[in-house]
Amino acid sequence: MERPKILTGLALSAQGQTPILGQEFLGSKLRIGVLSLSSNKLSILPSYYSEKTIMKKHILCSLLALVSVHAVSASLEQSLSKIEQEIKGQVGVAVIDTQSHNQWSYNGNQRFPMMSSFKTLACAKLLYDVEQKKLTLSQKIDVPESGLVNWNPITENFVGSKMSLQSVCAATMLMSDNYAANLALQQIGGPSGLTAFLREIGDQKTRLDRYEPELNYVEKGAENDTTTPIAITQTIKRLLTGDVLSTGSKTQLQFWMTNNMISDSLARSVLPQGWLIADRSGGGVKGSRALTAMVWKSDRKPLFIGIFIANSSLSTLPEINQVVADISQLIFAQYGIE
């Protein structure tokens, strides 16, 4: 897979008060719903938060959802079963439609390796700890050379110096920097600290046991470093739209996910024009892949998606990415994302 192009520049925080990385940041174009720049400040206004519901349309959609849920289930199950046979692996999918209040899954309670999809959870925990006054986003931590791992596109530029926690999570979320993810984990109590946080907010399935890159190596049938499609999709929904985080922290987390620079070949590649997406992907061994995403637009409440592939016969990343894109397209078609 071609490495993302890194551009020197500045990126503002979701709150827009100060550059999130200052001269540290290696930035990209912004992918956000409603963007306002003035007086060197940036504001993000998630359009669905202010959406006015038209009662007649809401009732009609609810009735249609009741009628169509079984058709969606049968059609998607058939398609996903065929994909499983073709790739000789396991596929897991969970969909939560906040428009119709419908939840659907395929192998939704089966365990899959999390891979880098844990990074959203880790940075959410860091934001939570900031709210609890345990940390501050501006505090800086050391970046020793001894921490370099297999993918350090941002952190390798700061070996021997320091990075702010805001910078660490930006590198983790925008570029999936593994060293940055490990630094974030160290600040929140490690893998066990993240798992404990997940239990506190109602996720009884998702667990992280190791750091990068070891966490990507999960034997078939093992529970370490795994989640279920239902569990993590519900958790992402809870973090982005629930009451676990403050409005400011939810906006920051969504900002990082929306500006993810490394998942363009997945659901983003088949997302119809006019729709917005905030996502986080993961890649591992044995033909494994993961994607968690929120999809929405101004007149449509969010659709939360979890897609997992494990132990497949696919040997190249483009092949695996295409399968995730194909599954995403099937989901979009079934749920009227067009």
* Residues carrying an active site annotation: 116
Could you identify the residue written with the tokens 């592939």?
A: 309
CB 304 within 8 A of CB 79: no
| CB proximity list for 266: less than 8 A, separation 6 or greater | 279, 281, 291, 321, 324, 325, 328
Nearest-angstrom CA–CA distance, 272 and 328: 11
Q: Which helix (H) or strand (E) holds 140?
A: strand 140-142
Half-sphere exposure of 133 (CA within 13 A, CB side): 0
Other beta carbons within 10 Å of 98: 17
Nearest-angstrom CA–CA distance, 267 and 75: 19
DSSP letter at 305? Answer: E
- List the end-to-end C-alpha distance of the chain, in Å, as a whole number: 28
Other beta carbons within 10 Å of 329: 16
Coil vs helix vs strand at 323: helix
